[in-house]
Structure 1
Amino acid sequence: MSLPYTVLWHSTKWFSLGIVWLISLLGGSSICRAAVREDTLHITTNIDELFLTPAAYSVLEDPTGRLTIQDVHKPEWSRRFMVASQAFTSIQHPSATYWLRLTLHDAEQAERHWYLELLDSHINNISLYQDENTAPAVRTGADLPFNSRPYFYKNFLFRLPLTPNKTHTYYIRLQSSSRTSFLARLRTETILAGHFQREYGLLGGFYGVLLIMVIYNLCIYLFIREQMYLRYVAYVLSCSLVFLSEDGLGFQYLWPTLPWLNQLVNAVAPVLLLLTFSYYARQFMDSAERLPQYDAWVRRVVLGSAALLLIDALMLHSGLGFWLYPLPYTMVCYLAVRVYQRGFRPAIFFLAAHSFVAISVLFLVLRKLGIHALTNTFTVYSMNVAFVLEIAVLSYALGDKIKAIKDATIRAQERLVKQLRKRQHAQSQLLEQLQQNQHLKDQLNSELEAQVARRTEELRHQSETIAGQNRELVQANRLLALQSAAIEKLNAELQHDLQQAQEARVLSREVDFGEFSQIYPDKEACLTYLAELKWSSGYQCRRCGHEKYCDGREAHSRRCTRCRYVESATAYTLFQKCKFSIVKAFYAVFLLHTHHGNYSSQELSRVLDLRQGTCWSFSQKVAEAMRRREQTPEYDEQESWTKLLLDTHEVGVEDSLVEQGSAEQ
């Protein structure tokens, strides 16, 4: 097996040896009985299963790959066979061919059927020769279709016909493109049948758990559209593909007639697992936000390692790609440690989940090193158990993270709702205040109108009385002519006063700053009114003439959608570059317009609470705008003071006005 997780061995070698030694003390000896370390293996009646370690074979390495069965029978080559535990415990050179010699002596009285199982399903070519036969009894391998195997089983299984009280010698010719061990099992037919049921049942349960996790998380993704669940599904699918390629079930059930596809999956599946693992782990720990610089390095290293691994697996076949795995996996684990130190609690579950896999990798590392003291059924399939535990812990961690995100979102929404309620309450109070102000204003206007009406009626009555008396006096005596003239003069003055009262009522010439502030209470109200007045006839870009716009960054500004030119509400108005309160500037324009520019800067300074120099400069700017307005053909003496606000003429007022006004604020 060549799972990508074996890369952890290089960084945890001594620690792994210590863990394995402790497990060996607690776990006891192997469940299978090991063969005697000698040239000939004796099979007795009380033996139903033999676990064949490299000590059970004699091995011959053929670097050329040209030796035949006739050659290895020759004395010069036969003498070169060595006990495997003293020479080779596994295939060290993928380019070479290895001959294994196995000698068995059946000491039983009755004949039983024995089967030899090679535990590695990735050996490219296998030929089994019996005794002195020159033709192979069985020829199979991973380079051939699955139906070339004598038995429909995920590993290579061969029947060894043994005759009671007779010694048999078997030669096994192996050729593999990857490093693999010589581990095998020798079982009787009864033991093998029970083993098939248990093994395929457990593997079926294992892949059932993976399938359930894929469907479950995929359904969650389809419901909530959270990308993390989709990445988790991709990670579990890549794990499934790795296991299907490693235990041989993929070749047995999914692509039995495509050995080239089996080789491609064996090469690509670990790389795909590396990519999906880092892809899921980085989003799970939010590394792009928590550690952006380190996350960028992790992404580059993972992509670079994956590219080199693919090139080596598909083109170079150097066998050195194994050393490209430790760096990206170590960087991802270090990333988990860093984010946990920064307070991300689910990272501890991520580390705990992969610690199960790391422990199971230790057993795999020992088998790769040729240490088979702890090789048994549990250690061989511990990787499957570790992945089930990892998936369970990662699922819990993923749910815990989603729950934390949900809780944080709920808290943020609650704070937002409180803020909106406060804002709504403030708006309600403001609206109520405006309604009260409007009510008071309407009441005041009604009272003024009633008073003016009463005064007018009184004046009219007095005028009629005086006119009647005047007629009577003219008719009665010339001497009363002077008095009549005086009465007429008084009547004219009263008529003039009446006209002025009517004009004051209509124009409402002057209000104090407090009443004015009720109409324009703040900067927002002034900018809103100014923007509506400025673009009342529609928007048109001053740079390119385009008529479509979007909101700019500044409040009430508009950005051209074609040339991106931004124009604020105060641009090209009297308030351009004016940095003191725009509310005070509005009131200053109102006062100056109301008094036809005859309003002293001292009084304006007192009313606006600004420096006299600032008030004088601004009043000059407004007076100049009024003069320009009076020169226009459409000028009307009774027009509103707001006509001055959109004056676009650049006047020569020094910019010190802006600095003085901002300093006073």
Structure 2
Amino acid sequence: MLLTARNTMAAPRAADTLKVQAGLEEVFIEPAFYSVLEDRSGQLTLADVQEPAYAAQFVPGDQLPTTMEHQGATYWLRLIIRAKGPLAQHWYLELLDSHINDIVFFPLTDSERGAVHTGADYRLTSRKFPYKNFLFRLPLESDQTHTYYLRLDSNSKTSFLSRLRTEQPLAVHFQTEYGLLGGFYGVLLIMVVYNLCLYLFIGEQTYLRYVLYVLSCSLVFLSEDGLGFQYLWPDFPALNQLVIALSPILLLFTFSYYARQFLDSPQRLPNYDPWVRRVVLISVGVLLLDTVWLHSGWGFWFYLLPYGMLYYVAILVWRGGFRPARFFLLAHALVAISVCFLILRKLGINTFTTTATVYSMNAAFVIEVVVLSYALGEKIKGIKDATIRAQDKLVKQLRKKHQTQHLLVEQLRQNQELKDQLNTELEALVARRTEELRQQSETIAAQNRELLQANGLLALQSAAIEKLNIDLRHDLQQAQEARVLSKEVDFGEFSQIYPDKDACLRYLAELKWKNGYQCRRCGHEKYCDGRELHSRRCTRCRYVESATAYTLLQKCKFSTVKAFYAVFLLYTHNGSYSSQELSRVLNLRQGTCWSFSQKVLEAMRRREQAPDFEENESWTHVLLDASGETAEEPVEEQDEQRDLS
């Protein structure tokens, strides 16, 4: 049987006797008022620890750490209380640590009769008082000294802190404590519901991450203060131990999951954020390993590095101009202070252990929840303002574009009016010329009759008629040439009519198949759309023909819009547009412009030799010139044939 004994020459000093009396309602049990015996074997009984050999090994609490140093060992606490004078109320012993696995309270010293056996490993019904902390009634009698023993067994470092209270202050304490805790969890619930509603209405993922973070914090507090075991899972002590072990790890994961998106660290710190993510994941893995297998008892130190890196991220983002980060820093500074108090208690340093410091984390977290909600709202407001500014800028650009389009439409309308006016004048001129020709024909007929009478006069009249015919043909040619639209437009105006490749290919396809589609391979007339823009696929043989196939634009190496404009310039200038000027207008290499202009000139010559050529036809007829080339087999058809083979 291994025992922790202090083998010194002198016997250990006995603990002081705690005195209670009427009028005294509450006493915090200082370490000097209880004695501790560590039983490494866990086999000692009540009778054993009262034997002189073991009784002399009890050490006063002020000579030991205030926590169990050796995990898995059994500790015996001896408390001696002196009741002075008559007692008006019953006294109760409250153990402030709700995580002790196994507790046996012995109200009598002569036997184990009436012993209360409870602990965190047992259901809540094992406790005589269904309270989150362990509460035991002390059978005190007036003017007598009573000795009480407690046998404590825990698999983690556990505090010996306890308190004596009478009935009336205990009831007041219950009412106050549960009221404050109810308000605390009420605030958390309100924040969860509020931010969850915002997520459902807005769809911003940061709100959902914040809800997960608040829920994990709530789980940590429910496991830490014992309310979760008291109200939510009182019949499942194993689940309670699991929540106690895993909730801080879940809190670290959800906090990093929320903080990184709230601070926009992937966008603002693209080099530092991957390291933060790796450190968080590694820390979570190490903590899980320590919780499940190692049980070192120092797992809370692994939280410092990831939390510190996230706090440093907030500082960097704040210094980078992200204003909501200042609320993040303020809120978590308060939480960090309260966590320091918790670490001191875990280490057994109770210098700062007061009611205010014990519940400081609850208060700090309420402040954090409110501040972060405001900060999240400010961030969303900033995003909304930036979106509104971008939309206003876009509206101005669209308004400017619409004004430009309106001016273009007005210019086109004026051009159409001038064209209609010119056509009207030309029609009137042709009518007058026709009337003059009719009158001159009548005159010629009369003169012909006179010519029958005079051959000499006939020769003169024939010459005059020939001259009139020449003038008439010249006038008709001028009238026809004047009907052709000869106004040259620049590339900016031209690109408004054909703004992009889609518009050019759509026009080319309509021009190419205006008389109906017929497959060049099988002659079928039914088609469907191909993968390329405005291409057509035969529904029988699945041959695909693009809009540029068998046209002047086949195998064109530059922009379709620029190719359209080049054809327009060369056609309207009758091929006399130089490649240097074409290179300057289209911003292309002169060699490319020269090669394409030669291709267009050849097409124009072939068009002039075509049987259906009309002198005043549109420049777009040149586009349909196939240049004697065969269209390349589309990639889509090649893929299909490969699949079939």
- TM bucket by the smaller chain? 0.7 to 0.9
Q: Which residue of 1 aligns with 2:505?
A: 531
Q: Is the 8 A contact 1:305 1:324 kept in 2?
A: yes
Q: Which residue of 1 aligns with 2:364?
A: 386
Q: Which residue of 2 aligns with 1:589?
A: 570
Q: Secondary structure at the match of 2:85?
A: coil
The answer to whether structure 1 residue 44 and structure 2 residue 44 are counterparts is no
Q: Secondary structure at the match of 1:344?
A: coil
* 1:569 CA displacement: 11
Q: Is the 8 A contact 2:216 2:250 kept in 1?
A: yes
Q: Percent identity?
A: 56
Matches within 5 A, 1:246-257: 246-257=224-235
Matches within 5 A, 1:240-279: 240-279=218-257
Distance (Å, rounded) in 2 between the aligned partners of 1:174 and 1:607: 94
Match of 2:556 among 576, 592, 612: 576
Distance (Å, rounded) in 2 between the aligned partners of 1:225 and 1:521: 43
* 1:422 CA displacement: 1.5
* 1:418 CA displacement: 1.6
User: Structure 1 pair 569/196, CA: closer, same or farther in 2 (3 Å)?
Assistant: farther
* 1:395 CA displacement: 1.5
Match of 1:57 among 23, 31, 34: 34
Q: Is the 8 A contact 2:101 2:155 kept in 1?
A: yes
Distance (Å, rounded) in 2 between the aligned partners of 1:637 and 1:624: 17
Q: Which residue of 2 aligns with 1:659?
A: none
Q: Is the 8 A contact 1:48 1:187 kept in 2?
A: yes
Distance (Å, rounded) in 1 between the aligned partners of 2:237 and 2:579: 100
* 1:72 CA displacement: 1.5
Alpha-carbon deviations, 1:75-125, whole Å to 9, x = none?
222222111221232111222111111111112234641100000111100
Q: Which amino acid aligns with 1:273?
A: L
Q: Which residue of 2 aligns with 1:516?
A: 488
Match of 1:358 among 329, 333, 336: 336
* 1:640 CA displacement: 4.1
The answer to whether structure 1 residue 299 and structure 2 residue 299 are counterparts is no
Match of 2:529 among 547, 566, 580: 547
* 1:642 CA displacement: 2.2
User: Structure 1 pair 607/570, CA: closer, same or farther in 2 (3 Å)?
Assistant: farther
The answer to whether structure 1 residue 105 and structure 2 residue 82 are counterparts is yes
Q: Secondary structure at the match of 1:157?
A: strand
Distance (Å, rounded) in 1 between the aligned partners of 2:38 and 2:546: 81
Q: Which amino acid aligns with 2:282?
A: G
Distance (Å, rounded) in 1 between the aligned partners of 2:36 and 2:252: 36
Q: Is the 8 A contact 1:49 1:187 kept in 2?
A: yes
Distance (Å, rounded) in 1 between the aligned partners of 2:585 and 2:192: 72
User: Structure 1 pair 367/608, CA: closer, same or farther in 2 (3 Å)?
Assistant: closer
Q: Which amino acid aligns with 1:547?
A: D
Matches within 5 A, 1:218-233: 218-233=196-211
Q: Is the 8 A contact 1:239 1:273 kept in 2?
A: yes
Q: Which moved more, 1:154-163 or 1:618-627?
A: 618-627
User: Structure 1 pair 527/163, CA: closer, same or farther in 2 (3 Å)?
Assistant: closer
The answer to whether structure 1 residue 239 and structure 2 residue 217 are counterparts is yes
* 1:321 CA displacement: 2.2
Q: Is the 8 A contact 1:95 1:177 kept in 2?
A: yes
Alpha-carbon deviations, 1:584-643, whole Å to 9, x = none?
623443146x5xx6x5969999999999999876654333224555677x7535554422
Unaligned runs of 5+ residues in structure 2 are 1-12, 521-526, 537-541, 630-645
The answer to whether structure 1 residue 411 and structure 2 residue 389 are counterparts is yes
Q: Which residue of 1 aligns with 2:466?
A: 489
Q: Secondary structure at the match of 2:271?
A: helix
TM-score (norm 2): 0.83
- Count of aligned pairs: 595
Q: Which residue of 2 aligns with 1:70?
A: 47
User: Structure 1 pair 399/481, CA: closer, same or farther in 2 (3 Å)?
Assistant: closer
Q: Which amino acid aligns with 1:345?
A: R
Alpha-carbon deviations, 1:521-576, whole Å to 9, x = none?
3345356674234222579999xx9833477xxxx999xxx9xx999999961893
Distance (Å, rounded) in 2 between the aligned partners of 1:613 and 1:285: 54
Q: Secondary structure at the match of 1:293?
A: coil
Distance (Å, rounded) in 2 between the aligned partners of 1:153 and 1:530: 81
Q: Which residue of 2 aligns with 1:80?
A: 57
Match of 1:137 among 105, 115, 119: 115
Q: Which residue of 2 aligns with 1:192?
A: 170
Distance (Å, rounded) in 2 between the aligned partners of 1:604 and 1:390: 69
Match of 2:600 among 614, 617, 622: 622
TM-score (norm 1): 0.80
* 1:518 CA displacement: 7.8
Unaligned runs of 5+ residues in structure 1 are 1-35, 652-665
User: Structure 1 pair 426/37, CA: closer, same or farther in 2 (3 Å)?
Assistant: farther
Q: Secondary structure at the match of 2:152?
A: strand
Q: Secondary structure at the match of 2:76?
A: strand
Structure 1 vs Structure 2 CA RMSD: 3.8
Distance (Å, rounded) in 1 between the aligned partners of 2:182 and 2:591: 92
Q: Is the 8 A contact 1:363 1:379 kept in 2?
A: yes
Q: Secondary structure at the match of 1:99?
A: strand
Q: Which moved more, 1:463-472 or 1:484-493?
A: 484-493
* 1:371 CA displacement: 3.1
Distance (Å, rounded) in 2 between the aligned partners of 1:233 and 1:385: 19
Q: Which amino acid aligns with 1:576?
A: C
Distance (Å, rounded) in 1 between the aligned partners of 2:372 and 2:519: 56
Matches within 5 A, 1:445-456: 445-456=423-434
User: Structure 1 pair 299/540, CA: closer, same or farther in 2 (3 Å)?
Assistant: farther
User: Structure 1 pair 407/641, CA: closer, same or farther in 2 (3 Å)?
Assistant: closer
Q: Which residue of 1 aligns with 2:156?
A: 178
The answer to whether structure 1 residue 120 and structure 2 residue 97 are counterparts is yes
* 1:281 CA displacement: 1.0
Q: Which has the higher contact order (CA 8 A, sep 6+)?
A: 1
Q: Which amino acid aligns with 1:45?
A: A
Distance (Å, rounded) in 2 between the aligned partners of 1:213 and 1:241: 15
Q: Is the 8 A contact 2:104 2:117 kept in 1?
A: yes
Q: Which moved more, 1:44-53 or 1:204-213?
A: 44-53
Q: Is the 8 A contact 1:541 1:547 kept in 2?
A: no
Q: Which amino acid aligns with 1:233?
A: V
* 1:254 CA displacement: 0.8
